[in-house]
Structure 1
Amino acid sequence: MATPAGRTHLVEQGSGPLVLLVHGFPESWYSWRQQLPALAAAGYRAVAIDVRGYGRSSRPGRVGAYRMVELVEDNAAVVRALGEETAVIVGHDWGSGIAANSALLRPDVFTAVGLLSVPYSPRGGIRPTEAFSRIGGEEEFYVSYFQEPGRAEAEIEPDVRGWLAGFYAGLSADTMPPAGEGSLFFVPRGGRLSDRFPSTGRLPAWLTEADLDFYAGEFERTGLTGALNRYRNVDRDWADLAAWDSAPIPQPSLFIGGALDSSTAWLADAIAAHPTTLPGVMGSHLLDGCGHWIQQERAEEVNRLLLDWLRGVRGP
């Protein structure tokens, strides 16, 4: 369907109140394959999009076309194009940030927000690239690594399937490297992110060979630049969102994270601040023994938490 990006591809199931599902990196609408039927069966119109730059959605050439304010307008345009006025929005990973900012910037459209794996952290006073440069000491923080155009593409694109398998495994509870072997989110100076991938070559339990084929096929067709351009806009976002510095999101909200996910460890202070930054928060859950790919690793539990929350948002 037509959006400011040009075209936004989506998959939908069911009828009823609209729930918009926004994936993260490096994923696609397919990340929500186990939520779509569960939401539809519960009486919701569940819609999972390919964010611009991914899958079958448009891939603008300009790096600046992937700034947060434009992704927010894509989401609002999807709601309008579906013939709806409002929606609940749920996001995972980068999709969590996109969902949070959609609720922040367009409260007229997005009446409730669910955040998976990455908590809401309002815009602050430090330019993001400055903050990232201070993280990691002798090693390079992965966001900084991803910011240089072409650099990560040169690592990933010669073997998309192998790289994705390693990245997914490195952040999954049952295949992540033991503590002490170095974090996947830090790159040795002069090295590559994949240097920290697990050495076993084993896929996590949630990821079948067919699932990996789907993800790999999408990125083999599109390349990784559109997806990585999200990381290359963090300073633009910081400038664009100056008027919302420290702003809370008052709509009804939900957070679900994995207890073994590095994101929840780094951002523990952000989770603790949710009663202030998300004054409408109705639940905050850390799933024991769960990694980063939360709605795929623990689909049934996430579905239950989402549906319980949605019933509370809608009322009895």
Structure 2
Amino acid sequence: MATITEHDVSYGDDKKIHYLASGPAENGPLIICLHGWPATAITWKSQLDAFATLGFRCVAPDMPGYGQSTARHEVSDYSQQSLVTGMMALLSHTGRKSAVWVGHDWGAGVASSVATQHPEVVKALVTLCVPYRTIELGWKGFLPLVNREIYPAEEYEYGQWDYMKNYEENFEKAVAWFDSDIAGLLKAVMQPSKPAGSRISPFANIRKDGGFFGGAPKPPSADMIPQAPIIPADVFSRMVKEMEGTGFWGGSAYYMNHESNGVYNGRKEGKLSMPVMFIHATRDLVCDTKTSRLAEPMREHCSNLTEVTIDVGHWVQLEKPQEVNAALTRFILEELPGEWPGFWESGYTKRKTIL
């Protein structure tokens, strides 16, 4: 198991990003992993361990609003423009000029924004569940791609993204509901996925139901959920403690910047020439990339695209870490062989003898 160290980088007007790092600091090819909602850096522990063991330098920040990073109650702190500024400060702090960027959920949106705005710092882009050229463009990036056979517009105006509209209409109420039992909510959210029954996501009825979990007055308590979460106990315990420290305000404010995000990323054509990999999760009913058109803009904007499908729910790198790590390893070997640790100095020689 790799040694994980902790670091801080200051940037902007008294803001800070806290990050975890593993692997050789001087010559390990750099991978940066960005988490989404809700999580903290420690949820990338499987990747921090695996890729450090292979000789990479693997870095995972507490994204702004989470963990030990700055978590101010300022909506603009969580716009894509502000988040990209933070990621560029993080990259600079590593002493590197570029990296392989990996993102899940909102972390995928931020990694995609980095690729859009600063392609020169992205050796390769890897996104899980959320394709490039969607969520980072605001409502216009994903709402038109809803599968209207599953979500007729007259009944589901916002499709499976209804919960995002709920944030805009009931932000403080939603945050207060999350904060009323953080441990219980996180345990409920991070349960093993099951094959989809109905293709209708429960997130499509949030406003109709009056909130999450069918409008329940608060999340279920942890002791009401007999099954363990999908992540190791020590990782889950640290994440809960960190989420209880910040609450959900900052993490939820990512959903409050759709208009400014559309303007910021909409100014760029967004065509990518570097290698891109996207990991589909077949059981993800919100980020539904298998029966909707959500992946189409990515396919139109990426000239070197690899797609991988894993039969799992939204928390793909947590529930199936071996499969995700294997896909990322193969992708780097095939698309970025020069980034493999020791590629240029190990004297690796292959000989064939005819017998």
TM-score bracket, shorter-length normalisation? 0.7 to 0.9
Q: Which residue of 6, 9, 23 maps to 1:14?
A: 23
2:167 to 126, 143, 146: 146
Tell me the distance in 2 between the aligned counterparts of 1:125 and 1:224. Answer: 20
Q: Pick one of 234, 238, 248 that aligns with 2:258.
A: 234
The alpha-carbon distance between structure 1 residues 272 and 180, as it changes in their structure 2 partners (threshold 3 A), is: closer
User: Which string of whole-angstrom CA distances, capped at 9 and with x for unpartnered residues, describes residues 93-140 of structure 1?
Assistant: 1101111111110112122100011111357796579869x6825998
> CA deviation digits over 1:18-43, x for unaligned, max 9?
11100000011112110111111122
* Number of the residue aligned with 1:95: 107
Match of 1:218 among 213, 231, 242: 242
Which of 255, 259, 284 lines up with 2:278 in the alignment?
Answer: 255
1-structure distance, mates of 2:215, 2:331: 37
The reply to whether residue 86 of structure 1 matches residue 98 of structure 2 is yes
Structure 1 runs not aligned, ≥5 long: none
SS of the residue corresponding to residue 101 of structure 1 reads helix
Do the aligned partners of 2:103 and 2:109 also contact (CA within 8 Å) in 1? yes
Match of 1:2 in 2: 10
Q: Partners of 2:167 and 2:321 in 1: how far apart?
A: 29
Aligned to 1:308: 330
What corresponds to 1:179 in structure 2? Answer: 198
SS at match of 2:295: helix
- d(CA) in 2 for partners of 1:164 and 1:44? 30
Summarize the Cα distance change of 1:215–1:136 in structure 2 as closer, same or farther, 3 Å threshold.
Answer: farther
**Whole-angstrom distance in 1 between the partners of 2:143 and 2:199:** 27
Trace 1:270-309 onto structure 2 (pairs within 5 A).
Answer: 270-281=294-305, 283-288=306-311, 290-309=312-331
Misfit runs of 4+, over 6 Å = 123-126, 128-132, 196-200
> 2:202 is aligned with what amino acid?
S
The alignment covers a number of residue pairs equal to 310
What is aligned with 1:57?
69
Distance 1:125 1:33 in 2: 30
1:9 aligned partner, one-letter code: H
Residue number in structure 2 paired with 1:195: 214
Contact persistence 1:88–1:111 (CA under 8 A):
yes
Contact 1:55 1:219 in 2 (8 A): yes
Q: Is the 8 A contact 2:21 2:48 kept in 1?
A: yes
- Whether contact under 8 Å (1:166, 1:194) holds in the other structure is no
> 2:324 is matched by which residue type in structure 1?
V
Report if the CA contact (8 A) 2:32-2:60 is conserved.
yes
How far apart, in 1, do the equivalents of 2:334 and 2:158 lie? 47
Cα distance between partner residues in 2 of 1:99 and 1:267: 24
- The structure with the largest alpha-carbon Rg is 2
> In 2 relative to 1, CA 252–167 (structure 1 residues): closer, same or farther, beyond 3 Å?
same
CA RMSD of aligned residues (A): 3.0
Alpha-carbon spacing, 1:87–1:59, altered in 2? closer, same or farther (3 Å): same
Aligned equivalents of 2:309 and 2:70: distance in 1? 35
Amino acid paired to 2:20: V
1:31 maps to 2:78: no
User: What is the percentage of aligned positions where both structures have the same residue?
Assistant: 25
1:235-281 CA-partner distances (Å, limit 9, x unpaired): 11112223125x32222110112111111347742324543222121
Distance 1:153 1:312 in 2: 43
Conserved 8 A contact 1:53-1:227 = yes
Tell me the SS of whatever aligns to 2:198. Answer: coil
Check 1:206–1:219 CA distance in 2 against 1; reply closer, same or farther (3 A cut).
Answer: same
SS in 2 for 1:173: coil
Question: Structure 1 CA distance, aligned partners of 2:229 and 2:10?
Answer: 37
Query: Using the alignment, how far apart are the partners of 1:27 and 1:125 within structure 2?
Result: 21
Partners of 2:120 and 2:158 in 1: how far apart? 45
Question: Do structure 1's residue 157 and structure 2's residue 179 form an aligned pair?
Answer: yes
Amino acid at match of 1:253: V
Q: Deviations over 1:41-61 (max 9, x none)?
A: 122100001111110001233
Cα distance change, pair 220–304 in 1 and its aligned pair in 2 (3 A): same
Q: Label 1:287 to 1:82 Cα distance change in 2 as closer, same or farther (>3 A).
A: same
- The alignment's TM-score, normalised by the length of structure 2, stands at 0.78
